[in-house]
Structure 1
Amino acid sequence: MDELHLLLDTCNFPDFVLLTEHWLRPSECFLISDYLPISNFCRQQSIHGGTMILARQTIETIFCNIDKYDNLLLENVFEFSLSFCKRFNLYILCVYRPPTGDIAMFLDKLDSILSQLSLHSKVVLAGDFNINYTDETLPRTSLLSILNSYDLKMHVLSPTRITSSFATTIDYFCTNFDDVLCTVLPSGISDHEAILAKMPYNTVSSSSHYMGRIFSRRNFNAFSAATASVNWNALETASDPLTLFFQVLCDKINQCFPKMRLKTKKRKPWVTRGLRISAKNLRFLTKLCKYTTNENILVYHQKYRSLYRKTIKAAKSNYYRDRLNMSSNRQRECWSIINDFRHCHRKVSEPELRPDPLMKTLMLNLTVATNKNSL
């Protein structure tokens, strides 16, 4: 789950997460920060498999699990999770067919469940079908015929399972509406690639988004160059130098740090910049291993993955140990940590106060301009 959290961090924490083959038993739970399951299927008679739909806590309450089609569920053939949002008139259907699952029965059940969804609703169909989209085979033709009959379009156009000997597109993301952009990303935690889909839907107004500015190094460099090019000597001859100064400053700030709609990122506090870089490197190595048989690279990948997992454990251990050591009431802090894992409370903290780097950059340029004038 920690590796999945770092992958979601890379994807800017999407609103929904669809999982297949989560391997969970009915008695097991799945906890990941800021997400809750809205629909879930676990195998009862056998192991592995399963499907799950997760949603961010800010929108989880407006989605409901649909279980009236559970009679179509069949382990090792047709496994699915289904959720519906009345406000958006949106169905999300996550489906898994194992490689050994009966194809004819799978297609028949898929056709049955799609036929019972409202024709006037938006539908997202995604999952691992284990039917190669790029092969001209009878199963693929039959599947496309079903998808076309419900106006469902496939948006994944790149291989999603890659090895040194073959590359197949067996993971699907289909919708009955347009303006959907799918990107295949190396997951680094599975033999399948991850699919990041961006699609339009009426988002919920909540604290997960806010208007703000991005104070990146690139924007600071642009601001420094913009203020350095201003002729500050004009302030001496201006009738109202303070108003002119304020106007020029606001123009440069809006130019270099424009306001935009930003998404709140709730990263786990133990996730460091080094861990995010390591996660990115691991995904690169995982993708490289799918195209090579070089023994040195394969061994290095295994060692890197092992070290990566140990680093995650060490980072978590150090963070929680430091919290306990720095606390004046260890018993209360211990319960606070437990509640963090259980998502039972929201931690409220005072805003961090620190010198404004924007003002430092501006004052530096004004100092340089003053020194030039004095020379």
Structure 2
Amino acid sequence: MVLCGDININYLSDNDKKKKLDLLLASYNLVSTVNFPTRSQNGSATAIDNIFIDASLQSNYVIYPLLNGLSDHDAQLIILSEVKTHTKNGRVKGKKMIRKIELAMIQDFEYKLSLETWDSVFGSNDINLMYNSFLSSFLRIFYSSFPLKVLSTRTNSNLWITPGISNSCKHKRDLYLIYRSSNDEAFKRYYRQYCKILKNVIREAKKKHYSRQISKSSNKIRTIWNITKSVTGKFAKVNSVQELKVDGRITKNRQYIADFLNSFFISVAENNINKSLETNNKPLDYLWQAFDHPFPSIKYQAATSTEIFKIIKSLTTKK
């Protein structure tokens, strides 16, 4: 486990808050790793951003500041050695296994537990056999309600970043180190102008990259929507029914809701047909109900081909 964030406690000085936090995290075998300033402003330096790890499992690590030039807080980069990620069938390159836990799955887990009789647990007098039987039944239900899923890691979506932009961003970070401690107004103007130019270059690079994607796509509308979603970070949300009102009562039982909806949609067509047969109304009857008076007569006026030609010529195309 890795715990990180802006904890707002300066680890460059000894204070009561630091000691209390260290004692609390030590109970979880977590220790701090940052021993250098993470925030510099007006000549003062503090280490209020930190990363805590389990040193007993990850004793071999390297950590150093990552100057991003985005704020007065510097980022921290920690490299953990010998980190092993195992899956059910061994290690999978570019993928990892996760066990998703959602409200619907929790309700399914509780429902299956309520159906378990535990006869194999209470039918024995051996405490070890009882425990093993309980654990086996519990894990069987747990694994069925919360199955492992393969999660593919994200590919690099910032394909618009060219080597030139990467070098310019690196140079901007170097300039930022001088900028935040400099009182030279001329240099500060130069830094702000450099940031403005770099921002325009990045915007133009993105525009060209997305234009190439759209022009090469066979389905341009879908590509435009995918680009819009990736840029805004707004993806389609999956909404699931958490509760349903059935016969005047609200139920949260997922199995009962599924059975009720299946039964409803299977019989809805037949019920509608039966209702329509009961009325036995002709389609024209509905039209007579809506219009109880005759329609006004349509009067045509004569027009020559010359008049029609002039009307067409007067129409202008949209620019």
TM-score w.r.t. length of structure 1: 0.40
| Higher gyration radius (CA) | 2
Q: Which has the higher contact order (CA 8 A, sep 6+)?
A: 1
The structure carrying a bigger helix percent of its residues is 2
The structure carrying a bigger strand percent of its residues is 1
TM-score w.r.t. length of structure 2: 0.46
